Structure 1
Amino acid sequence: MTGASIETTLELWASSLRDVKGRMRGLFTQERVAASANLFLDGLLGDERRKTGWMRAEAAGDPGPWRQQAILGRGHWDADELRDIVREYIVENLAMDDAVLVIDETGFLKQGKASCGVARQYTGSAGKITNCQIGVFAAYVSARGHAFIDRALYLPKTWTGDPVRLAATHVPEAVTFAPKPALAAQMIGRALATNVPFSWVAADAVYGVGEIEQALRRGCKGYVLGVKSDHRFGSWDKNPPVAGTAEKIVRGLAPDAWQRLSAGEGTKGPRLHDWAYCELADLGADEYDETKSGLWTRGLLIRRNISDGDLAFFTTWCPADTGIETLVAVEGHRWAIEDSFETTKNELGLDHNETRSWHGWHRHVSLVMLAFAMMAAIRYRANDVTPPKRSTRRTIKI
């Protein structure tokens, strides 16, 4: 892959920034508010390590953070409309039919109790139970790049059962308690309803069973979803037969059932693990949607760590005759959302939101998503530049 020149990359950056700002313009009824939103986006993309209101204001030449804060708080515009703009932009620039939607969550560490959704809860970001908000995200991952395509703020029951706190943080009346898998199912539903091109969904054990599986089967989309070791599996019309918990099934596997495969390239080379795959049943797609056709296979995918033997289990759904290499590659796409969280937090201020309201969180996160999607598109387009052909004619010196 050949990268573009510095001049070409700068031109791509300038034209892409004009493009995304133009796409945002229709969200705002006043020019001055649109201008402040543009400056907010510039601040997210700037060199300042902390993307606080004061830092963004200083970079924009404002005497204080009030205009920047107004974009997240007092202004009147719909963050979900910006989310839809981001989705359309990603489809235009990164879409491929075999893309993977990856679902995961991340924590936003907070002090105090006033920020919308904050509670003492577990977050992998800190590796412990701590005071934080939890955001559920969907990343679009293709060979062209990856970016967040959807998001939702998780509200614990301590919030949805407290009308005073909901009113104080301007949570819409229609919002009720929804478990994290339900939020993920809503995101998948929006992607299906808007015909986003993708073939697979990957997620960890938090999202591995229930309505997500049913929605994907109805939509004829494959999945590799994490499950716990006590999840039960059973096969029929398959030989050898499989029955029991995932943990029990793995103990009965023959040594030659395992294959050493890479789930993709990591920072230190191929991410190698030992893998095993058990086919459980073949089902017709018309069992879930009478307008669909084709034979699909339900299965169990198992990953074993080479160094310590640690096991992970995945329920799978895929077109018949899909090889284990494909399922392993789909599971390996989960690294992209981890990279997305790290990049947006370190470079774009994903976790630097200073507002306490429901709409403030969704506005801030959606603006970061737009900035990140733009960067992904620039990276793809810069690397996709075809170098000028060299002349094959020989020069004859006289």
Structure 2
Amino acid sequence: MAADHSVDPARWRVLFDQAMARIAGRFGRVEPRATARAYLLGLLSATERKNCWQLAEQAGLARPGPMQRLLRYARWDADALRDDVRAYVVDHLGDDGVLIVDETGFVKKGSMSAGVQRQYTGTAGRIENSQVGVFLAYATERGRALIDRRLYLPERSWCSDPERRHAAGVPEDLPFATKPRLAEEMIVAALDAGVTASWVTGDEAYGQDPQLRARLERIGIGYVMAVACSTRVRINQGRTPVRADVLADRLPASAWQRHSAGAGAKGPRYYDWAWIHIGTGVHRHLLIRRNRTTGELAFYLCWSPTQITLHELVRVAGVRWSVEECFQAAKSQVGLDHYQVRHWTSWHRHITLAMPALAFLTALAADANPARPADPQHPDRSHDPIILTVPEIRHLLVAVFAPPAMTAARLLHWSTWRRRHQAAARRSHYQRRSTDGPAG
């Protein structure tokens, strides 16, 4: 590790201790506080599946009980911890970021997990039996991280079924809320907590919601929200609204400008862009993106409290993809989707604990990567490695937080534990099937 000046194991350990100190007060007793620390270290480890059994084995525990109690019965407030994570992210990534709303799916088996039903999820790209979480991310030039979460509760299959809600631990007074309403709640909560952001962005699921856009305008925060090609807008104070794709076809060649939507894995992501003033104010636009190879179009409704440039709208539109990077890192690096819990409380606690793990990796990446010339062809960078990424930092942390040596006895203990519990589960399934089977 000494070969790279930006990698400092001792400093990383200190920064982890500081991050834990910020949230330690949320756990009133010593046991859940120590378990939470072990849980986070497990999420940051190289453990293949980051569920309670695997995390307990990683931590050197004799059984998964402490991890399971942390998620289900221990007394601590996941929303208060979420608030700490949000403040930590802003402290390390800086002010005046972009808030991004999006959802991700968690494919599940069975019907008992809170909020589960057959529904479309972009995670699978089709309708699957799944839970859907709506998330809020915060992005600046220094990085991006998840800062809030809500579990979507379907109206018919869950909100209208008191027995099912009770079994899954869903609060009795929790009303049905659409995904845009959940997004609105998180945005308002972040701004009320002092998060300084000038923009909100999201995909069509949120951009198509007029109530969300109106709320953002009332509180004075700009937005660049994706919408469908069939969206109708008014131009030149006309009375008849026109489809967005029809307007795009009418644009002359001179209306299109080439801009980068940000850096991708293979360099700047260049598209052709055009913007059209819509409505009655000078601060409202239809933004259009055109793929330079395929000609495919994408559309955004934009509003800002002050006059803005096309370049700035393009920048915000490009930032939206940061949330996809957050989901990918959260799932592949800190086990966001590795949980094996059904209860409402347990889901929120696991997801909330995954958020500081991701935030810590993001903070290390921001801390370890000093400002360097932006051009990769710059002579001062011709022999430099790429900057430290979140996956690379998580990989290095395996050595920084080396777990106790895995003895043969310890491996055998956990093998026996797993197989006994798997045998009990199999007997339970067989008994249930024999009971449900046809009469002889």
- Whether TM-score is above 0.5 comes out as yes
Work out whether residues 136 and 147 of structure 2, in 8 Å CA contact, stay in contact via their aligned partners in 1: yes
CA distance in 2: counterparts of 1:41 and 1:53, whole angstroms: 12
Determine if contact 2:95/2:195 at 8 Å carries over to the other structure: no
2:59 counterpart residue number: 60
Give the CA deviation at 1:215: 2.1
Q: Is the 8 A contact 1:242 1:280 kept in 2?
A: no
Shift of 1:324: 1.1
Q: Which residue of 1 aligns with 2:134?
A: 136
1:302 to 262, 267, 288: 288
Q: Secondary structure at the match of 2:289?
A: strand
Q: What residue in structure 1 maps to residue 167 of structure 2?
A: 168
* Residue segments in structure 2 that go unaligned for 5+ positions in a row: 373-440
> Could you say which residue in structure 1 is the equivalent of 2:278?
280
Higher strand share: 1
1:344 maps to: 330
Give 1:276 shift.
1.1
Q: Aligned letter for 1:325?
A: H
Partner of 1:199: 198
Q: Which amino acid aligns with 1:346?
A: S
Matched, 1:45 2:31: no
1:116 and 1:51 mapped to 2: Cα distance? 20
What is the Cα-based RMSD across aligned positions, in Å?
Answer: 2.0
Match for residue 368 of structure 1? 354
Q: Deviations over 1:203-243 (max 9, x none)?
A: 001001322212221222111001112211113469xx994
Question: Partners of 2:189 and 2:135 in 1: how far apart?
Answer: 13
In the TM superposition, what whole-angstrom CA distance separates every residue of 1:121-175 from its partner, at most 9, and x where no partner exists? Answer: 0011110000110011111000121101111000111111111111011111221
* 1:51-76 superposed Cα distances (whole Å, 9 cap, x missing partner): 12121111100112111111111212
Greater shift in the superposed pair: 244-253 or 339-348:
244-253
TM-score, normalised relative to structure 2: 0.80
Counterpart mapping for 1:1-398 below 5 A: 5=4, 9-97=8-96, 99-157=97-155, 158-208=157-207, 209-236=209-236, 243-281=241-279, 283=281, 297-384=283-370
Secondary structure, counterpart of 1:313 in structure 2: strand
Structure 1 range deviating more: 26-35 or 133-142: 26-35
Identical columns (%): 43
Greater alpha carbon shift after TM alignment, 218-227 vs 316-325: 316-325
- Structure 2 distance, partners of 1:92, 1:53, is 30
Distance (Å, rounded) in 2 between the aligned partners of 1:7 and 1:258: 42
How far off its partner does 1:29 sit?
2.1
> SS in structure 2 opposite 1:136?
strand
Question: How many pairs were matched up?
Answer: 369
Displacement, 1:319? 4.5
For 2:274, what is the secondary structure of its paired residue?
Answer: strand
Distance 1:214 1:18 in 2: 42
Q: 1:90 to 1:282 in 2, by over 3 A?
A: farther
1:107–1:133 CA contact under 8 A, matched in 2: yes
1:337 CA drift (Å): 0.7
Tell me how far 1:95 sits from its aligned partner: 2.3
Deviations 1:75-111 (A, max 9, x none): 12111111101011112111222x1111111010101
| CA–CA distance in structure 1, aligned partners of residues 7 and 104 of structure 2 | 35
Separation in 1 of the partners of 2:101 and 2:87? 19
Superposed displacement of residue 371, structure 1: 0.8
SS across alignment from 2:304: strand
- Counterpart-to-counterpart distance in 2, 1:30 and 1:250: 61
Distance in 2 of aligned mates of 1:242 and 1:305: 29
| Secondary structure of the structure 2 residue equivalent to 1:89 | helix
Q: Could you tell which deviates more after superposition, 84-93 or 7-16?
A: 7-16
C-alpha separation between the residues in 1 aligned to 2:211 and 2:237?
25
1:254: Cα distance to partner?
1.4
Structure 1 Cα separation of the partners of residues 41 and 86 of structure 2: 20
Shift of 1:33: 1.3
Tell me what 1:393 maps to: none
| Structure with more relative contact order (C-alpha pairs < 8 Å, separation 6 or more) | 1
Which residue in the other structure is 2:404 paired with? none
Residues in 1 aligned to 2:103 and 2:150: alpha-carbon distance in whole angstroms? 9
CA drift of 1:360 comes to: 0.7
Deviations 1:305-350 (A, max 9, x none): 2222222111001244411111111010012111111111111000
**Secondary structure of the residue that 1:215 maps to in structure 2?**
helix
- Divergent runs of 4+, >6 A: none
Q: Which moved more, 1:193-202 or 1:6-15?
A: 6-15
Q: Is residue 6–residue 368 contact of structure 2 (8 Å, CA) maintained in 1?
A: no
Q: Structure 1 residue 275: deviation in Å?
A: 1.3
Q: TM-score scaled to structure 1, two decimals?
A: 0.88
Partners of 1:41 and 1:192 in 2: CA distance: 27
Cα separation, partners in 2 of 1:17 and 1:4, compared to 1, 3 Å: farther
Equivalent residues of 1:192, 1:219 under 8 A apart: no
Are the equivalent residues in 1 in contact too, given 2:51–2:338 (CA < 8 A)? yes
Q: How far does residue 115 in structure 1 lie from its aligned partner after superposition?
A: 0.6
